[in-house]
Amino acid sequence: MDRVLSGLKPEKVFYYFEEISQIPRQSGKCRKISDYIVAFAKERGLYFLRDEMDNVLIRKAPTRPGEDRYVILQGHMDMVCEKSFDYEARHDFNKDGLKLCVLDDYIYAKGTTLGADDGIAVAYMLALLDDDTEEMPGIEAVFTVDEEDGMKGAVAFDTSGLLGKIFINLDHEVEGELLTCSAGGKRVKCTVPVRYDAAEGVAYDIIICGLAGGHSGMEIDKGRGNANLLLGRLLYVISKKMPYSLRYIGGGLTDSAIPREAKAEIIIDSKYIDTLEDIVERYSRIICDEFEGIEENMMIYAENKGNDSSICLDSVSMKKVSLLLNSVPDGIIKMSRKNEGLVRTSLNSGIMKLTENDFSLIITMRSLAESEKEALAGKIECLTEMIGGSYTEEYDYPAWEYEKDSKLRDTAFEAFQRLFGRNPKLRGFHAGLECGIFFKKMEGIDIISFGPDISNIHTPKEKLSISSAARVYEYLREVLKAL
């Protein structure tokens, strides 16, 4: 393999980041990356444990004389797998490694997500486990699977064998911030049964693409467009002006990302061609105006596919789909009153899919308050059932609650001051972290979370700052030595 990151420092961090970038590791398919981590432990004679989910624990004894304390480091192996629109056919996340590139201070992957969320944590932990140059406390490195799919790995992980009570999560994307709490979350599936009728006429593809997307927790406060709901809105506008038949609708790849692209296939009478194209053109101008300064690359267009005949949703099914897409809340539901700029409760309709039997919308809701999360879930359930659909909860994870007293937080704060000559920012976090699950499972655990600058995560524009990754690794080592 040609090394793209050779020469970058710290060498071991970027060596391991490039190694794992060549291993397919989408959520639900982490066996290969788990195998790599187990082989790493075996080669170095380190204690390891792998569970049935493919989570891995590696334990390294203290290298500091007289030390018997262990610090838990934690990050997840899996990554969100998204491709740019023009790269769709050229990358298979099931078998292809990422094509890493370096530009100035940044690492990115050509045409795909980079997986620095949370590959940089995996690289940090492997580099530390492979380094005996400094005296350190014992390290328990916990590598979890499927964080991006309901945190299933952390939920299944047996914490009873852990020796440490000090817990550092490495799944944050803003250097200089120490996280002190994070939101809980719930993923639900709203399913509406559908029926079909035959239709014929002129087929059109209605496409919304080029949106910024992003992490449905971290970027939900940016006011970015949701392609799924914008398409639902457009179809509703069309239905008020002319008849049409809907044979396909779909959008979004993962519930944890704001959907960037959505597509519908419709059939119309030829006499409505001009009407349809005029509606879509005007809608595009309106929506681009609404998102001016936010969605600079958004495209909304209709493409004539010629005469066609097909089975399409009947009128009742179309109405149910439209009601769901145009009634479900979107984005920020409530801001925190205590912490300025912090989202308290939000919702993201991440995936919509049409099959021969039903239309489904997969929604993620997040909240710092358990009661608000449950209340929002209840509203979605009521809405779905009123339309004649069914509501299913697919996963639910707890919030990581703020602790007034934290020796770890104090130590990390002082280490940051010492190393950089300024104070870190202490903040709560609207995105969900596995910290909440470990916080719930382990009584008396002391937790912080931090990481380097990673921008546009969960999108093909994701990039990792090289200099920030180096500084944060130095900072992690400083915190460990201070402990």
User: Catalytic residues, which ones?
Assistant: 78, 147
CA-based nearest residue to 30, from 75, 76, 78: 78
DSSP letter assigned to residue 401: -
Q: Output b/e per residue, 174-185; b: 16+ Cβ within 10 A.
A: bbbbbbbbbbbb
Give the number of other Cβ atoms within 10 Å of residue 194's Cβ: 20
Q: Helix (H, G, I), strand (E, B), or coil: what is residue 66?
A: coil
Distance CA 389, CA 40 (A): 48
Sign of the CA dihedral running 440, 78, 392, 253: positive
> What gap in Å lies between CA 142 and CA 60, rounded to an integer?
12
| Residue appearing with tokens 């596995």 | 434
DSSP state for residue 256 in the 8-state scheme:
T
What are the C-alpha distances in Å from 116 to residues 112, 198, 464? 12, 47, 7
State how far the alpha carbon of 239 is from the alpha carbons of 33, 225, 232, 279, 299, in Å: 48, 22, 11, 10, 21
Question: Cβ neighbours of residue 46 under 8 Å, at least 6 residues apart?
Answer: 58, 59, 60, 129
- Give the Cα separation of 192 and 94 in Å (integer): 30
Strands (E), 61-165: 70-76, 100-103, 106-109, 138-144
The SS3 call for residue 217 is coil
SS3 at position 102: strand
* CA nearest neighbour of 121 among 17, 44, 40: 17
Give the burial class of 405: count Cβ atoms within 10 A of its Cβ; 0-12 exposed, 13-18 middle, 19 or more buried: exposed
Please tell me what DSSP assigns to residue 422. Answer: S
Distances (CA, A) of 144 to 102, 154, 175, 434: 28, 6, 22, 9
Side chain identity at residue 147, one-letter code: E
